[in-house]
Amino acid sequence: MKKEKSFNKSTVLRDYGLVIIFLVVVIILAIVTPTFRKPMNLLNVIKQASVNGILAFGMMIVVITGGIDLSMGSIVGFAGVCAALFAHPGEYPLIVPIVIALIAGGAIGFINGVGVSYGNLPPFIITLGTMSIARGLALVFSGGVPVIDMSESFVAIASGSLFGIPYLSYYFIGIALIFAFVLNKLVFGRHVYMIGGNKIAAKVSGINVKLNLLVVYTLSGLCSGLAGFLMASRTNQGSPTMGVSYEMDAVTAVVIGGVSMSGGAGKWYGVVIGALFIAVIENALTIFGVDPNWKQVVKGVIIIGAVLLDVKSKGKKE
Partner 1 sequence: MRTKLLAFLLTGILTGTMLAGCGSNAAEETKDDTAETVESKEAAETTEESADSSDTANSGEGKKYAIFIAINSNAFTMSVGDGAVDHGKEIGAEVTVFDGKGDQDTQVKQIETCITQGYDGFVIEPVSSDGAIPVIKQGQEAGIPMVTVIQECADQSLVSSFVGADHYEASVIQMESTLEKLGGKGKIAIINGQMGTTGQIQITEAFNTVLEKYPDVEVVEEQSANWVIDEALKITETWLQKYDDIDAIVGQSDAMALGAMKACQDAGTQMIISGRDAVPDALNAIEAGTMYCSINQGGPEMGAKSIEFVNKLANGETVEESYYTTNTLVTAENVADFK
How many residues line the site for partner 1 (CB under 8 A)? 40
Question: 291: buried, middle or exposed (CB in 10 Å: 19+, 13-18, 0-12)?
Answer: exposed
For the chain, the 3-state helix, strand and coil shares in percent, each to the nearest 5, are 75, 0, 20
Residue 11 engages partner 1 in binding (rule: CB under 8 A): no
Residue 212 engages partner 1 in binding (rule: CB under 8 A): no
Nearer to partner 1, 18 or 87 (CB): 87
- DSSP string for residues in 26-77: HHHHHHH-HHHHSHHHHHHHHHHHHHHHHHHHHHHHHHHTT---TTHHHHHH
Are 36 and 30 in contact, with CB atoms under 8 Å apart?
Answer: yes
Nearer to partner 1, 198 or 241 (CB): 241
Binding to partner 1 (CB under 8 A): which residues in 147-166?
148-149, 159
Nearest approach in angstroms of CB 33 to partner 1 is 9
Residue 263 engages partner 1 in binding (rule: CB under 8 A): no
Query: At 77, which amino acid appears?
Result: G
Q: Measure the CA–CA gap between 158 and 264, rounded to whole angstroms.
A: 33
3-state SS, one letter per residue, for 130-146: HHHHHHHHHHHHHCCCC
Nearer to partner 1, 11 or 35 (CB): 35
Nearer to partner 1, 41 or 198 (CB): 41
> Binding pattern to partner 1, positions 265-304, x when CB under 8 A?
-----------------xx--xx-x-xxx-----------
Query: At 47, which amino acid appears?
Result: K
Residue of 226, 231, 250, 271 interacting with partner 1 (CB under 8 A): 231
Residue 125 engages partner 1 in binding (rule: CB under 8 A): yes
> Which SS3 state, helix, strand or coil, does residue 147 take?
strand
Residue 238 engages partner 1 in binding (rule: CB under 8 A): no
Question: CB-side exposure of 155: number of CA atoms within 13 Å?
Answer: 10
Q: Measure the CA–CA gap between 314 and 51, rounded to whole angstroms.
A: 30
Nearest approach in angstroms of CB 35 to partner 1 is 4
Residue 140 engages partner 1 in binding (rule: CB under 8 A): no
Question: 271: buried, middle or exposed (CB in 10 Å: 19+, 13-18, 0-12)?
Answer: buried
Nearer to partner 1, 76 or 219 (CB): 76
Name the one range near partner 1 by CB under 8 A: 8-16, 81-89, 215-223, 231-239: 231-239
Residues that bind partner 1 in the complex, under the rule CB under 8 A? 35, 38, 40-41, 44, 47-48, 119-122, 125, 129, 132, 139, 143-146, 148-149, 159, 231, 234-237, 239-242, 244, 282-283, 286-287, 289, 291-293
